[in-house]
Amino acid sequence: MFNNLVSTVPIQLRNHSSSTQIRPYLGTIVIVKPLFAIAKPVVLQSWLRKHQTCIVRTVPDHVLQIGYIRTLPPHNAQTKKLTLNTSLTVSNHFFLNISMAEYQNKAAWLPGVGKQVEIGPAEIPEPGPGELLIEVKVVAAQPAEYKIQEGTLPYQLNYPTIIGISFSGVVVKVGTEVSRFKKGDRIVTNSAGSIRNDPRFGAYQKYAVTTQEMTAKIGEVSFEAAVSISSLAYPASALFIHLHLEKPAEHPNPENKNKKVLIWGASSSFGAYATYLAARAGYTVVGVASSKNAQLVKSFGAVHFVDRRSPTVTQELIDIGPFEAVLAAADAAQDQPVLGAVLAAHGGGSFLSTMGLRPGVELPPGVQGNFVAIMDVYLDPKTRDFTTWVWWDFLESELASGRLQPVPVQILGGLDKVQEAWNLLKAGKVSGQRLAITPGL
Angle at 244 between CA 238 and CA 248, to 5 degrees: 80
Q: Where in the chain is the domain with CATH 3.90.180.10?
A: 105-217+410-437
Q: pLDDT confidence of 104, banded at 50, 70, 90?
A: confident
pLDDT of residue 153: 81
pLDDT of residue 425: 94
Range scoring the smallest mean pLDDT among 50-54, 59-63, 167-171, 241-245: 59-63
Residue 433 reports pLDDT greater than 90: no
51-58: average pLDDT:
38
352-378: average pLDDT:
89
69-85: average pLDDT:
32
Q: pLDDT confidence of 105, banded at 50, 70, 90?
A: very high
Question: Which of 294, 165, 181 lies closest to 237 in space, CA to CA?
Answer: 165
Q: Order the strands of the 260-264 sheet from edge to edge.
A: 304-307, 284-289, 260-264, 325-328, 349-353, 367-370
359-366: average pLDDT:
92
pLDDT of residue 432: 79
Which comes out higher in pLDDT, residue 407 or 244? 244
pLDDT of residue 350: 96
Residues 6+ apart with CB under 8 A from 350: 326, 343, 367, 368, 369, 370
pLDDT of residue 318: 98
289-302: average pLDDT:
96
Angle at 381 between CA 377 and CA 386, to 5 degrees: 55
Percent helix / strand / coil, the chain, rounded to 5: 30, 25, 45
Q: Give me the count of residues in the chain.
A: 441
Q: Considering only CA atoms, give the Rg of the chain.
A: 26
CATH topology of domain 105-217+410-437: Quinone Oxidoreductase; Chain A, domain 1 (3.90.180)
Measured in degrees and rounded to the nearest 5, phi and psi for residue 131 equal: -115, 160
HSE-CB of 170 using CA atoms within 13 angstroms: 11
Residues 6+ apart with CB under 8 A from 401: none
The CATH architecture that domain 235-375 belongs to is 3-Layer(aba) Sandwich (3.40)
pLDDT of residue 299: 96
3-state secondary structure of 211: strand
Q: What's the mean per-residue pLDDT of the chain?
A: 80
Q: Where in the chain is the domain with CATH 3.40.50.720?
A: 235-375
By the 8 A CB rule, do 256 and 234 touch? Answer: no
